[in-house]
Structure 1
């Protein structure tokens, strides 16, 4: 019977999906021998030097674009990739001449606001065929500024040749690596929408064109005539090793500095070269005949995301006081020096992370409660609040975070031990408002520390937090691991309230439950 309140609270806390669990916890321990208590913690920024691994092994998706806002500054993201012939030592026939070259991209798009435009009296230009044309348009999913006043923001997508060899697909590449970019070989004015096109012949309903939902960018015909078609029989087209050193790759980027970032799956891109050649019949008749060849931009090629930042003064000042990422995981220095920050900057794609330290004094007092008063921790979480004095815009806030313990490479114990109890690492509240908050569930993690008699109580405990989501196996749905996440292409950012730096002497002490500084929230009761 004495254990019943404890078990009941555990079940409710672990299975609830609400963000305001503390009110519930207070009701459960009210009048009982327990508490719902907040403690201040030491919160600090982590400087990742605007660099992250961004090669093919990290790019389930890629971002393209150029975005700027006042707090984190500007961010230009270009996508570079190798390309390969679909067939080596190709035979393009006699007198091959290119009609067109098209780069096809498949950005992520929303399906709930499509529009359809039908042209019943369409004339298909190749042969002047009477036909019907149906164009279905979808808005591309974007992060950033999508309008210029009341109008859709139109950006210019550029395609350039890469003139440096990009290496092998298994090579590790950092986002700040510079590859030489050559001449522009294509461009398209982009209004933020993509479409599918179906053209059917009026006479019998035969499909003349069926283009899936995509963004089609015309490329320079003379460039590809000289680069590919004219090299028929040349060694540079005879094998993959020769080809990727001859035609080293392409870069896709956006000009406009204050636009948005959009995403696509890198393996969905491709280039098709449409051409005509002479075909001679047995009677000697020569006919110009359509043909095509494909350049493969998918898996097996080196993919690379180039990310360039330009930071404002407040951000660079904060990073000057931040812990350097390289100094985080050093077993020989388990308690590194940090500078508490009142503003916490978090950004994906190589931007800053944050650290949350539960001070040694707090751990010592909780150990004493556990040992002397026999308390049981029912719920423990690190709670963070949006800094509404700094981050007060309408950009979408991160809905998920990546969390690990310092000097640990695996998931938090909570993620493995409590998974079957409906555990959620991150619980959010009010994300669409300036009062947004995040709860990081660390019940099992903290219990291990408190109940471990060998834990060095002169040391605090650090949790490292990044913007991002964990990736899961497509067939099983299971998370792949701590290192498998979308940080390399996650565009979100936020500024959170940190430590009250005017009262650092009280770090780790009990605070009011209504406080909005970075904090540890604990619900406990007597066993």
Structure 2
């Protein structure tokens, strides 16, 4: 303890005197002539930080911020538990749907696309899906001109967006939402739930997904093939057997109802939405792509082209044919819109979605101000507030004002505490923002000279969050302009917030930051967890959480 106090006093004295010996010359981090025409010698100084872990918090989680979403649950004793469910409004794929005679719902299938998959495959399979025939029927001489064979091709992939106990199985369930979910203008946070009703369906899932395609071959040209349908992305498919009767009673049997004539009536009076979650409290969490989600009802009805005057079940023109091509029943589909938005010119209606997260903290909150280790937990689980030592900042300001210091670089190196992290994978990105004002740091945003967006800041989204440097073993987070504003322009000494995630734009080239949405990041669906060395680590003092400053002094 005496050595720690003594070291702090020495640093304070040296800062005030304006004389700090360089710990290590790192010319690659700085340039020359930053203080005028004279050459500069570059030194390194430090400012102590106070770090405090903040526990679970609610995050905005409505569709406006959900470029992706999560489903699942995971628990381990250090960081605690996280459980995620996904809600979506449901809309008709076509208004005022018409069905054939004696229409009957055969099945309803929900496809949940995953956000990311590896290029590897677990298995491939092919099975016969359907065979149809083309006939030539003239002068009572019926012949087969072509045989069309459709195969279902299924490719199974490992799910690489999974976090947690990847080898476990979980029960995925889909329930009916019986509460109005509002509009796209509704703002929801991660603790928001909607009331649910009956179970539509469930399925035991593992860490694999499938991608189906239906391919057709003709006997007249067996080397040629036609893709009839193909999944956009690998996905989890769930049969919603409990929804068959609902679609039959509320949609098929209500053909022509005003409730099916517009989307507002449909979501108000027929079906408000669905909820997707898991039964288990401990398993894994996986990312999904809501905009690619689909839900399709398969409905059979009498074929209006089928003629059977003698009641033998065979199409009359094909009585003498070796096979039949016209069947008494046909299958059509009714697609529902889930997980994405839509609108038209006359009515403004949108698909509302919501990611609900529940977090319980484990050991991380036993001592949130522990100087040896701090914790970050995605999906609103935990973040770290950083405060700079005001006396040392005043010493830096004095040297800038009176001793010719010119700050060239300021950053914080964040080292994972591997003895606590264990086998948990490291998150790809961390980022800093101004905790006192809930704003982006000036290092990453400058006022945009765009008349239509006077209150925005322009910056490249990809640069505000910094990736893990596996060679050096740390995350390096810049805050140069933030510090220079404090010591050169007397800006207030605001706190910083350290958090998991990266910023996301609608397009990779998006360059606008909205001050009222400073947290437009992927943190709501980022399941990672991270233990970091604190401001006074028990060992590895070189991994101390602190502010590093590179400066030049005029000769």
Per the shorter chain, which TM-score range? 0.7 to 0.9
Question: 2:364 corresponds to which residue?
Answer: 315
Q: Does 1:439 align with 2:439?
A: no
Task: Identify if the C-alpha distance between structure 1 residues 475 and 68 changes in structure 2 by more than 3 Å, giving closer, same or farther.
Answer: closer
Offset of residue 138 of structure 1: 2.2
Pairs within 5 Å for 1:105-254 = 105-114=112-121, 117-119=124-126, 122-125=127-130, 130=149, 132-148=151-167, 153-191=168-206, 192-201=208-217, 203=219, 204=221, 205=224, 207=226, 209-212=228-231, 213=233, 214-220=235-241, 221-245=244-268, 246-254=270-278
Query: Which residue of 74, 79, 89 maps to 1:72?
Result: 79
Whether contact under 8 Å (2:154, 2:210) holds in the other structure is: no
Question: 1:334 corresponds to which residue?
Answer: none
Q: Secondary structure at the match of 1:83?
A: strand
Looking at structure 2, the residues matched to 179 and 426 of structure 1 have their Cα atoms a distance apart, in angstroms, of 33
Looking at structure 2, the residues matched to 178 and 437 of structure 1 have their Cα atoms a distance apart, in angstroms, of 38
Query: Which residue of 429, 443, 446 maps to 1:414?
Result: 443
Q: Does 1:373 align with 2:403?
A: yes
- TM-score (normalised: structure 1): 0.78
Task: Identify if the C-alpha distance between structure 1 residues 146 and 408 changes in structure 2 by more than 3 Å, giving closer, same or farther.
Answer: same
Offset of residue 366 of structure 1: 0.4
Looking at structure 2, the residues matched to 28 and 80 of structure 1 have their Cα atoms a distance apart, in angstroms, of 50
What is the CA deviation profile of residues 436-481 of structure 1, one whole-angstrom value per residue up to 9, with x for unaligned ones?
Answer: 42221111221221112x456xxx4311222111123516342544
Whether contact under 8 Å (1:201, 1:208) holds in the other structure is: no
Q: Secondary structure at the match of 2:496?
A: strand
Q: Does 1:463 align with 2:490?
A: no
Looking at structure 2, the residues matched to 208 and 376 of structure 1 have their Cα atoms a distance apart, in angstroms, of 65
Q: Does 1:483 align with 2:528?
A: no
Looking at structure 1, the residues matched to 283 and 461 of structure 2 have their Cα atoms a distance apart, in angstroms, of 39
How many residues of Structure 1 are paired with residues of Structure 2 in the alignment?
Answer: 463
Structure possessing the higher radius of gyration over alpha carbons: 2
Whether contact under 8 Å (2:535, 2:544) holds in the other structure is: yes
Offset of residue 372 of structure 1: 2.2
Offset of residue 60 of structure 1: 0.7
Offset of residue 62 of structure 1: 0.6
Question: 1:293 corresponds to which residue?
Answer: 334
Offset of residue 111 of structure 1: 4.2
Bigger RCO of structures 1 and 2 (CA < 8 A, at least 6 apart): 1
Question: 2:15 corresponds to which residue?
Answer: none
Looking at structure 2, the residues matched to 398 and 283 of structure 1 have their Cα atoms a distance apart, in angstroms, of 64
Looking at structure 1, the residues matched to 89 and 77 of structure 2 have their Cα atoms a distance apart, in angstroms, of 35
Offset of residue 415 of structure 1: 1.6
Q: Secondary structure at the match of 1:346?
A: strand
Query: Which residue of 413, 417, 420 maps to 1:383?
Result: 413
Task: Identify if the C-alpha distance between structure 1 residues 167 and 27 changes in structure 2 by more than 3 Å, giving closer, same or farther.
Answer: closer
What is the CA deviation profile of residues 404-462 of structure 1, one whole-angstrom value per residue up to 9, with x for unaligned ones?
Answer: 22343543221246999999555555559xx942221111221221112x456xxx431
Task: Identify if the C-alpha distance between structure 1 residues 171 and 390 changes in structure 2 by more than 3 Å, giving closer, same or farther.
Answer: same
Task: Identify if the C-alpha distance between structure 1 residues 118 and 495 changes in structure 2 by more than 3 Å, giving closer, same or farther.
Answer: closer
Whether contact under 8 Å (1:472, 1:480) holds in the other structure is: no
Offset of residue 282 of structure 1: 10
Query: Which residue of 47, 51, 75 maps to 2:58?
Result: 51
Query: Which residue of 463, 472, 484 maps to 2:505?
Result: 472
Q: Does 1:493 align with 2:529?
A: yes
What is the CA deviation profile of residues 121-169 of structure 1, one whole-angstrom value per residue up to 9, with x for unaligned ones?
Answer: x433566975555332322222323543xxxx33322111112221222
Whether contact under 8 Å (1:397, 1:431) holds in the other structure is: no
Question: Structure 2: any 5+ residue segments left out of the alignment?
Answer: 1-22, 32-38, 134-147, 310-314, 316-327, 342-349, 448-457
Looking at structure 2, the residues matched to 28 and 60 of structure 1 have their Cα atoms a distance apart, in angstroms, of 38
Looking at structure 1, the residues matched to 462 and 103 of structure 2 have their Cα atoms a distance apart, in angstroms, of 62
Looking at structure 1, the residues matched to 283 and 160 of structure 2 have their Cα atoms a distance apart, in angstroms, of 13
Q: Does 1:360 align with 2:368?
A: no
Task: Identify if the C-alpha distance between structure 1 residues 283 and 189 changes in structure 2 by more than 3 Å, giving closer, same or farther.
Answer: closer
Question: 1:7 corresponds to which residue?
Answer: none
Task: Identify if the C-alpha distance between structure 1 residues 241 and 90 changes in structure 2 by more than 3 Å, giving closer, same or farther.
Answer: same
Q: Does 1:521 align with 2:521?
A: no
Looking at structure 1, the residues matched to 480 and 291 of structure 2 have their Cα atoms a distance apart, in angstroms, of 40
Query: Which residue of 342, 351, 359 maps to 2:381?
Result: 351
Whether contact under 8 Å (1:470, 1:479) holds in the other structure is: no
Q: Which moved more, 1:258-267 or 1:199-208?
A: 199-208
Offset of residue 28 of structure 1: 8.0
